[in-house]
Amino acid sequence: MSAAPKTERLRKEWLDRLSDLIQKVKTWADELGWSKREIEVTLSDSQLGKYKAPALIIQDDAIRILLEPIARSAPGADGVVDLYLMPAYDDIASLYFYDDDWRVHYMFPETQTVATIRDASAKLLTKESLREVLEELKRNAV
């Protein structure tokens, strides 16, 4: 397989994975009472080149969070997406795709403090784990 078709296939797989994630989070955000707006960001990847990808802004009152794709691959993961508290752009949680599912890495209150978000305990990304992260953010942002 030449490089161009392989690159296109990898980009399509990654964008499909992101689109599925964005749709899932949009649905959950709606069910949890958060407003949401899909946006597009430009990414640059050594293997995929420069491309546009979906991202999501979710908001409840004055709390605004950006769900932003970071990388198609990372050690031990087939995708990384960060959650940022806006406008400070504070990295609050990371989503990693491995073992065929998204997992949220976040320093949940009941977990031991670690050096990086990646080292934080992971929970399967579900509506409940997303709710837990969002509620914790709301408590700490006030």
Say what the pTM is: 0.86
Judged on CB neighbours under 10 Å (0-12, 13-18, 19+), 138 is: middle
DSSP state of 28: H
Q: How many domains does the chain have?
A: 1
Average pLDDT of 43-72?
94
More confident residue, 3 or 58: 58
Q: What is the mean pLDDT of the chain?
A: 87
Which range of residues forms the domain containing residue 53? 3-141
Distance, in Å, from the CA atom of 101 to the CA atom of 119, rounded to the nearest integer, reads 18
Higher local confidence (pLDDT), 42 or 139: 42
Residues 6+ apart with CB under 8 A from 3: none
